[in-house]
Amino acid sequence: MMKGEAGYEQSQDCQVTVKLKKRGNLNIVLHSKMEKMFGDQIIQKAKEELDLLGVKHADVTIDDYSALDFVIQARIRTAVRRARDGEKDV
């Protein structure tokens, strides 16, 4: 299982951790002060991005610090690539 991380613990940013798995569900865990207001929207946008990247089996954690959707998607993209690059190195 390979792991990739991206983003910073800073206002309007988010930290994303992606653990790629061979099988199993796509689990997304979100921690955000905005969860009640935007939780569903953030999870939806995260799923869209992961789908675009062809990620089907992974544990994804998003620690959100009031980031906009484009930031969350960009951090997911970077974290997934880093996880995959890690996989290649092994």
Partner 1 sequence: MYKMRTMLFCPANKPKMYLNAPVFKPDCILFDLEDAVAMSEKDAGRDLLCKAVETLEFGDCMVFARVNGTGTPFFEEDVRSIVPSGIRYMRLAMCDCPDDVVVLDQLLTEVEKANDIEVGTVKIQCSIETAKGVLNARETVKASDRVISLSFGAEDYTNSMGTVRTREGNELSYARTYLPVVAAEAGITAVDTVWSNYKDEEGFAEEVKWAKTLGFTGKSCIHPSQIKIAHTLLSPSAEEIEHAQRVVDAEREATAAGIGVFTVDNKMVDYPIINKARRILIQAGRLEK
Partner 2 sequence: MKKLQKNKIGREVPEHIIQMGDVKPYIRSGKRKENYITESDKVYTGKVVGSLKEAIVKSGLQDGMTISFHHHLRAGDMVLPKVMEAIDELGIKDLTICASSLTSSHECLIDYIKKGVVTGLQTSGMRGELGKQVSRGLLDTAVVFRTHGGRARAIQKGDVTIDVAFIATSCCDDMGNMNGQQGPSAFGSMGYAMVDARYAKKVVAVTDNLVDFPAYPVSIPQTLVDIVAVIDQIGDPELMGQGATRKTKNPVELTIAEYASQVLIASGLIKNGFSYQAGTGGVSLAVVRFLRDYMKENHIIGSFGSGGITSTMVELLNEGLFTGLLDVQTFDKGAVESIRYNGNHIEMDAGTYADPLTKGCVTNNLDIMILSATEVDVNFNVNVLTASNGNVMGALGGHPDTAAGAKLAIVVCPLVRKRIPIVVDEVQTICTPGPSVDVVVTERGIAVNPNNPLLKAELVKAGLPVCDIKELRDKAYSITGKPKPPVFGNDIIGVVEYRDGTVIDMIKNVID
Instruction: Mark the segment that binds partner 2 (CB under 8 A) among 2-10, 19-27, 55-63, 64-72.
Output: 64-72
Among residues 61, 66, 81, 84, the one that binds partner 2 under rule CB under 8 A: 66
Residues 71-90 that bind partner 2 (CB under 8 A): none
Q: Which does 38 bind (CB under 5 to 8 A by kind): partner 2, partner 1, none?
A: partner 2
Beta bridge pairs of residue 15: 63
Q: Which is nearer to partner 1, 11 or 22 (CB)?
A: 11
> Which range touches partner 2 (CB under 8 A), out of 20-28, 31-39, 47-55, 82-90?
31-39
DSSP 4-71: EEE--SSTT-EEEEEEE-SSS-EEEEEEETTHHHHHHHHHHHHHHHHHHTT--SEEEEEEESS--HHH
**Tokens at 25, concatenated:** 């569900």
